[in-house]
Structure 1
Amino acid sequence: MQNFPTIKTERLILSELKEEDLPLVVEYMQDKEYSDYTSTIPYPYRKEDGDFWLKLVREAFNSKKGYTFAIRDASGKIIGAIGLHDEGHDKAEMGYWMAKAFWNKGYVTEAAKAIVDFGFNELNFNKIFAIHFPHNPASGKIMQKIGMQQEAILKQHLKKDGKYYDIPMYSIFKNKD
Structure 2
Amino acid sequence: MMKNFPRIETDRLILSELQEDDLPSVVDYLQHEEFSKYTSNIPFPYTKEDAEFWLKLTREAFEQRKGFTFAIREKTGNIIGAIGLHDQGSDKAELGYWMAKAFWNQGFITEAAKAVVEFGFDELKFNKIYATHFLHNPSSGKVMQKIGMELEAVLKQHLKKEGKYHDIPMYSIFKNKD
- Into which bin does the TM-score normalised by the smaller protein fall? over 0.9
Equivalent residues in 2 for 1:130-149, closer than 5 Å: 130-149=131-150
Deviations 1:67-108 (CA, angstroms, capped at 9, x unpaired): 000000010000000000000000000000000000000000
- Find the counterpart in structure 2 of residue 118 from structure 1: 119
- Find the counterpart in structure 1 of residue 84 from structure 2: 83
* TM-score, scaled relative to structure 2: 0.99
- Find the counterpart in structure 2 of residue 29 from structure 1: 30
Taking only the aligned residue pairs, the percentage that are identical comes to 73
- Find the counterpart in structure 1 of residue 98 from structure 2: 97
Q: Give the Cα separation in 2 of the matches to 1:108 and 1:57.
A: 19
Partner SS state of residue 147, structure 1: coil
* TM-score, scaled relative to structure 1: 1.00
Equivalent residues in 2 for 1:39-50, closer than 5 Å: 39-50=40-51
Partner SS state of residue 88, structure 2: strand
Q: Give the Cα separation in 2 of the matches to 1:46 and 1:63.
A: 26
The runs of 4+ residues in structure 1 deviating greater than 6 Å are: none
Partner SS state of residue 42, structure 1: coil
- Structure 2 unaligned residues grouped into runs of 5+: none
Counterpart amino acid of residue 59 in structure 2: R
Q: Give the Cα separation in 2 of the matches to 1:147 and 1:119.
A: 14
- Find the counterpart in structure 1 of residue 160 from structure 2: 159
Q: Give the Cα separation in 2 of the matches to 1:106 and 1:59.
A: 30
Partner SS state of residue 88, structure 1: coil
CA RMSD of aligned residues (A): 0.3
- Find the counterpart in structure 1 of residue 21 from structure 2: 20
Counterpart amino acid of residue 127 in structure 1: K
Count of residues in correspondence between the two structures = 177
